[in-house]
Amino acid sequence: MVRRIIVMLMLATGGASLAASVEAADRLPVRALSKAYSMPQSSAARSCTSDDLLGNWQLVGFDSPYRFRDPRAPYLLPYQVFQYASNGGIKSAHSSKPIIGEAERLFEAIPQAMSYRVQLGGIVTLSKAGQEGTVETWRCTTVTEDRTDLRRQMSFQQGDLVMTLTGRQGQTLFVRHLRKVSS
């Protein structure tokens, strides 16, 4: 399953690894979370809707209960941005250096290789462009109020997303904490 995820994410970025020539002082590198974090449904969070997902997102943190075979896989890089478009397209960019510039301009240069669909209960399915079937299934949770988890040393802002990649039996494979950078 891990190998399949690597291939799909590389397809989503066209297999390219983006690098920036200057350091961004306003964007700290992402740190891996100490324990897999799945945001529980509460007054501080709810299942995502299509409207919640639209826009451009920056990775805040990630984690997985699994050990990865390739430590250089794109989804493990500290700088990642994602775009969920109103036409159902999803694009992403992953880098070991800060991703500089406006997300809109960056995503204009990246071909759309994946599409998404939001189902009831915040289930987001990804499909490879031009092919039938789901290649990834995510549980998406929207943070509805600012919250700090002192135990995990994490801060969530209203509107943040917690995306949990699930396996065939519903087990957690990977968790992403995303923050919106533009609509």
29 lies in a domain? Answer: no
27 lies in a domain? Answer: no
28 lies in a domain? Answer: no
Question: Model confidence over 155-170: pLDDT tens digits?
Answer: 999 999 999 999 989 8
Question: Model confidence over 85-144: pLDDT tens digits?
Answer: 999 999 999 999 998 888 888 999 999 999 999 999 999 999 998 888 999 999 999 999
Q: Which residue has the higher pLDDT, 70 or 41?
A: 70
48 lies in a domain? Answer: yes
| pLDDT of 148 | 87
Range of the domain at 120: 2-17+36-182
> What's this model's pTM, rounded to 2 decimal places?
0.75
State how many domains the chain has.
1
* Pairing, β 45-47 against β 31-32: unpaired
126 lies in a domain? Answer: yes
24 lies in a domain? Answer: no
